[in-house]
Structures are given as C-alpha cells and as structure tokens.
C-alpha cells in the first residue's frame, strides 16, 4: 500500500510542478484537475498520443512542457522513477527538489524565486518542512517591490524589513507576439491537419523544430 501511495503522490506532483513552471496557479488548477481525470496514472498518460497531450495542454503556454511531461511519463512507466529526477525530461533542479519534498517527503528544500527572496532577506536557514509556508510567504507577503512587512510573522527579527527590490524583468506582452502566433497555429492544426502553405511558415518551422507538429507532403499535423 505504501508503494502505491508514493507512486500516486509522485505522479501528481510531477504533473503539478511541470504545469506550474512559468504559469500562475489560478490558470493551472482547473487544467490540472481535468488532466488527472483524463489520465489518472502514469501508464495512462504514457499510452496516449503526443497529439492528444498537446491538445489537452493548449492554453497553459510553453507547449514543449507537454511533450516533456509525456516523455517523462513514458520513462517512468517503463523503467520506474530514477534516483536522480533531473534525468526526466523537463525536470530541472528546482522541480526535482519540489517533487522530492512534496511527493516523496524527503528532507529537501525546493528554492524558487519566492523562497530565495525570503531566505535572502531573513538570513535564516529554514528546514525543508517549512517549504510550503515559505512559498506562500514569498508569494503573498514578502513581495519584491512592495513587501507587506506589517503582515509578516518574521518581520520583528528580519534585518531587511522595509527593503524594496526591483522586480525581475517581465516577459513581453503576449498580444501580437510570436508566442501568440505559435499558439494560434498549434490550435488550428490541433483541430484538423492543414496545408503548410495556408499557415504562417515561420511559425510552422519553429513548431516543427520543437517537435510540436510534423510536416509530411505539405500537410501539417500534430505528432502521433
């Protein structure tokens, strides 16, 4: 029973952590729930086609993450969880640490940008058990530009109380961007195969390089 629970939690942890990469929680939650309803096990996800995975992912952005998650599921379904989770495609050091902490309950502290800010400002070496609290604190209270020190439970002993930082440079607007053009073409091709000549050629070439579409005899389709 314990091994089944570990597999269940680790599977869901992988999906949530990959979806949350560069995507807001509010956008992820409904898609995450729909994803798990459709593919409740690693084996179910591994057995589906790349095209179905890409269609289900659309709207979350950075669609290469869908392919990475699909390939990771196939790796786990055939060979189990690797000792080094970064061997899974799409899993970097932070995502691996988050899965190890939240899914496997290992004493590892995942450090994202919010946690790093709290650690830097307080100078405290927090234990891995505080991971979720640190993430919430950094996301809602210990903000970069306008920290809410009056609401912070650590403010009394914080050497950086009241310090403001310049926020990280934000990505350019989606409207009118190449990212929007990619999303539009991928959505169109997801509905039905299309002649390459009828689509944005530069976008098609970029999507093909990323493995998100295939082009055969001038027809663009999602991968099988």
Q: What is the CATH number of the domain that holds 40?
A: 1.10.340.30
pLDDT at residue 130, rounded to an integer: 96
Q: Report the domain count for the chain.
A: 3
Same structural domain for residues 14 and 72? Answer: yes
CB 49 within 8 A of CB 198: no
Whether 173 maps to a domain, the answer reads: no
Same structural domain for residues 9 and 91? Answer: yes
Whether 108 maps to a domain, the answer reads: no
Q: Which of 91, 95, 119 is nearest to 108 (CA)?
A: 95
Whether 47 maps to a domain, the answer reads: yes
1: confidence class by pLDDT, cuts 50, 70, 90: very low
pLDDT digits (tens, 9 = 90+) for 133-160: 999 999 999 999 999 999 999 999 999 9
A 10 A CB-CB count for 142 gives 25
- Cα separation, 134 vs 111, whole angstroms: 9
- Cα separation, 196 vs 42, whole angstroms: 34
Same structural domain for residues 121 and 189? Answer: no
Could you tell me where the DSSP H helices lie in the chain?
2-19, 25-38, 42-47, 50-57, 64-79, 93-102, 113-122, 131-140, 178-191, 201-209
For residue 129, pLDDT beyond 50? yes
Same structural domain for residues 71 and 15? Answer: yes
What's the mean pLDDT when you consider all of the chain? 90
Same structural domain for residues 146 and 216? Answer: no
Q: Containing H/E element for 215?
A: strand 214-216
Same structural domain for residues 185 and 139? Answer: no
- Cα separation, 153 vs 134, whole angstroms: 11
Whether 163 maps to a domain, the answer reads: no
pLDDT at residue 123, rounded to an integer: 96
Whether 38 maps to a domain, the answer reads: yes
Of the residues 2, 17, 106, 175, which is catalytic?
17
Same structural domain for residues 152 and 117? Answer: yes
Is 17 noted as a catalytic residue in this protein?
yes
- Cα separation, 45 vs 19, whole angstroms: 15
CB 41 within 8 A of CB 23: no
Write out the residue range of the structural domain in which residue 201 sits: 178-221
pLDDT at residue 7, rounded to an integer: 43
């Amino acid at each position: 029973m314990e091994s089944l629970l570990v597999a269940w939690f680790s599977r869901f942890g992988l999906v949530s952590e990959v979806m949350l990469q560069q995507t807001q929680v509010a956008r992820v939650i409904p898609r995450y729930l729909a994803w798990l309803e459709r593919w409740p096990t690693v084996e179910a996800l591994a057995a589906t086609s790349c095209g179905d995975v890409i269609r289900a992912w659309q709207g979350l952005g950075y669609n290469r993450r869908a392919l990475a998650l699909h390939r990771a599921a196939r790796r786990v379904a055939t060979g189990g969880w690797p000792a080094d989770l970064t061997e899974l495609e799409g899993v970097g050091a932070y995502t691996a640490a988050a899965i190890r902490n939240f899914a496997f309950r290992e004493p590892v502290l995942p450090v994202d940008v919010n946690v790093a800010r709290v650690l830097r400002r307080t100078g405290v070496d927090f234990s891995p058990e505080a991971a979720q609290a640190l993430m919430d604190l950094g996301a809602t209270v210990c903000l970069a530009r306008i920290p809410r020190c009056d609401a912070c439970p650590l403010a009394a002993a914080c050497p950086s109380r009241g310090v403001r930082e310049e926020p990280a440079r934000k990505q350019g607007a989606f409207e009118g961007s190449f990212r929007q053009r990619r999303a539009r073409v991928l959505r169109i091709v997801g509905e039905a195969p299309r002649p390459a000549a009828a689509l944005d050629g530069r976008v098609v070439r970029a999507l093909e390089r990323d493995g998100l579409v295939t082009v055969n005899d001038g027809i663009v389709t999602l991968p099988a």
